[in-house]
Amino acid sequence: MPTDADPRVPVTVLTGFLGSGKTTLLNRILTEQHGKRIAVIENEFGEIGIDDALVIDADEEIFEMNNGCICCTVRGDLIRILGNLMKRRDRFDAVIVETTGLADPAPVAQTFFVDEEIGAQLALDAIVTVVDARHLLPHLDEERAEGVENEALEQIAFADRIVVNKTDLVSEEELAEVEARIAAINPLARTLRAQYAAVDLDEVLGVGGFDLARALELDPAFLTSIDHQHDLTVSSVAIEMPGEVDLDRLNAWLGEFLSTQAVDVFRSKGILAIQGDDRRYVFQAVHMLFDSRADRPWAPDEERTNRLVFIGRNLDRAGLERSFAACLA
């Protein structure tokens, strides 16, 4: 929180690869009784937003940026939103920027040092990276074309706090291997083990963890470089269709889809309208790990529509739209 020594608003950059549990941690932050007023800026990779509907309703101000990565194509939007936020400085105590899972946190952090107006009013407090203990190592070991960044590695390298999430899905030996790899990449970051992103919030908020000198040591061009090349084989497919879904057809389709394409699909998530149920149906998947639940009731003035996003490689947009349409009642 702001202090007499530094009256600027603290900013936490919340990052982590697709499906690591960033939104789960964000919901914990927004619902715990910590007495802090928090403004949230979300960035999603797809052309339609899902995470905004998954964030628990709260009094906090939430802003969403879609259809691009915050570290490159929509960075100007980040500066604009931060500038507008500061016009309402009295309404919040801190800012959280939740990046897309494909973001390199370095250019996001750079924003608070290269833009003089932003830097005078906001202070980067820490980069908090959430990692999926079950899937981290394959993503770190993935071969990339020359010049293409490995975002999972960059997110760990620039982190001040690392939440090792989903520890219940791995053995103690596997967990030790994950933590050893993290320590080899970033021995200075404090690591926190977690299930369902349950961590002491004092360990991730207001920690004063970001060190510009260390960032420059990691990347001497940190304050000047604007080059950032994503893996262009990764894309997103968003589906938005009105109507109601037949649950049996949906389960059969999702089971077939995940069993045959899970290796290439990093992340799937959606909010669906199920026939005969007045509640929203939320599903989320990371590769083959799948979770679904009934959510809050649809509001009386809310259109019962289905919104799905898939992020991965070799995605067939027409095939996905056609096969999902076949699930409609």
Q: In this predicted model, what pLDDT tens digit does every residue of 165-205 receive, in sequence order?
A: 999 999 999 999 999 999 988 888 899 999 999 999 999 99
Token pair recorded at residue 247: 């649950």
Average pLDDT over residues 90-104: 82
Q: Supply the mean pLDDT for the chain.
A: 80
pTM: 0.67
For 172, the token pair is 């103690």
The residue that leads in pLDDT, 312 or 155, is: 155
Exposed, middle or buried, 214 (CB in 10 Å: 0-12/13-18/19+)? middle
Confidence at residue 261, expressed as pLDDT on a 0 to 100 scale: 78
What tokens appear for 92 in the block?
């919040």
Give residue 99's identity as a one-letter amino acid code: T
Identity of the highest mean pLDDT range in 69-78, 146-155, 174-183, 267-276: 174-183
Provide the pLDDT confidence category of residue 256 given band limits of 50, 70 and 90: confident
CA 303 to chain centre: 26
> Which domains are present in the chain?
9-218 (3.40.50.300), 234-325 (3.30.1220.10)
What is the rounded (10 degree) CA torsion for 288, 289, 294, 299? -70
Cβ-based neighbours of 184, under 8 Å, separated by 6 or more: none
For residues 141-157, average pLDDT: 79
Q: What is the pLDDT of residue 1?
A: 46
46-75: buried (b, 16+ CB within 10 Å) or exposed (e) per residue? beebbbeebbeeeebebbbbbebbbbbebb
Closest to 228 (Cα-Cα) out of 77, 110, 128: 110
Residue 37, token pair as written in the block:
């007023």
Rounded mean pLDDT, 54-64? 44
Say how many Å lie between the first and final Cα of the chain, rounded.
Answer: 51
Burial of 143 (0-12, 13-18, 19+ CB in 10 A): exposed
